[in-house]
């Protein structure tokens, strides 16, 4: 390999590292601004899977009060975050 080729490869690797660093910093900034954004639409994502999700989605459709529906959606987002966190940080 020629010295010029090595220099080009080194530059490309440096550029790739810089792009990844910028991408990570943008993702971290977005996560800090919207911490529940990682869950997407937590209620819909949670309602798609499992028996409990179906029950909650039915309950949300039946509830007459918008405030109760809002609390239910928040609760399902928290449950989704709990499930996500438990996958990444298992109990000892």
pLDDT digits (tens, 9 = 90+) for 38-88: 555 455 555 455 566 667 666 766 777 778 777 877 777 777 788 778 777
Of 80, 86, 72, 76, nearest to 39 by C-alpha is 80
pTM of the model as a whole: 0.39
Give pLDDT, residue 16.
Answer: 93
Please check whether residue 33 is in contact with residue 25, taking contact to mean a CB–CB distance below 8 angstroms: no
Q: Tokens 């179906």, residue?
A: 54
Higher pLDDT pick, 23 / 65: 23
DSSP conformation class of 40: S
Give pLDDT, residue 65.
Answer: 77
Give pLDDT, residue 19.
Answer: 93
Please check whether residue 56 is in contact with residue 47, taking contact to mean a CB–CB distance below 8 angstroms: yes
Please check whether residue 13 is in contact with residue 19, taking contact to mean a CB–CB distance below 8 angstroms: no
N residues, the chain: 92
């Amino acid at each position: 390999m020629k010295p010029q080729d090595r220099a080009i490869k080194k530059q490309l690797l440096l550029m790739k590292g810089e792009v990844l660093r910028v991408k990570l910093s943008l993702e971290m900034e977005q996560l800090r601004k919207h911490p529940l954004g990682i869950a997407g639409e937590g209620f819909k994502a949670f309602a798609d899977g499992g028996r409990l999700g179906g029950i909650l989605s039915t309950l949300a459709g039946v509830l007459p009060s918008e405030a109760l529906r809002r609390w239910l959606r928040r609760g399902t987002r928290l449950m989704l975050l709990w499930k996500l966190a438990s996958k990444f940080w298992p109990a000892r």
